[in-house]
Amino acid sequence: MPHSIVEYSAELADTFDRPRFAKGLHEALVRIAGGRAAGCKTRFVRLDETYIADGSPGYAMVHVQAGILSGRTPQVRRELAEAVLELLRDSVPPLPAAELQMSVDVRELDSETYARHETPAVSS
């Protein structure tokens, strides 16, 4: 925990500073939601095909889904969403020929049913 999935239009592949964004995201998750830095996981998914608005090529998108364990207040989840949106604005430059749409969804992982396991590295 926390788990984040970042979907982004292929047009952003060369300009979206993903390592910078992930670092800031993990810091925000720890600072705002009380996550453990060692437990933060972020997956980036490049979208080679999207259909936005009227389907014209004049659009691109980034969507972040952040899953945190249940028990945080709506205010904490909203603060996290706003911080992640600000990180996106700092990490993804505007496109000259496309409207860039950014969104964030902070979801709760059910602490009653969420399970995890860590296997330490095996040393030779």
Q: What is the mean pLDDT of each run of 10 residues along the chain (124 residues)?
A: 92 95 96 88 96 92 94 93 96 92 91 77 82
Domain boundaries, the chain: 3-109
CATH code for residues 3-109: 3.30.429.10
16's CB contacts (< 8 A; 6+ apart) are 8, 62, 91, 92
Q: In whole angstroms, what is the distance from residue 64 CA to residue 43 CA?
A: 10
Global pTM reads 0.89
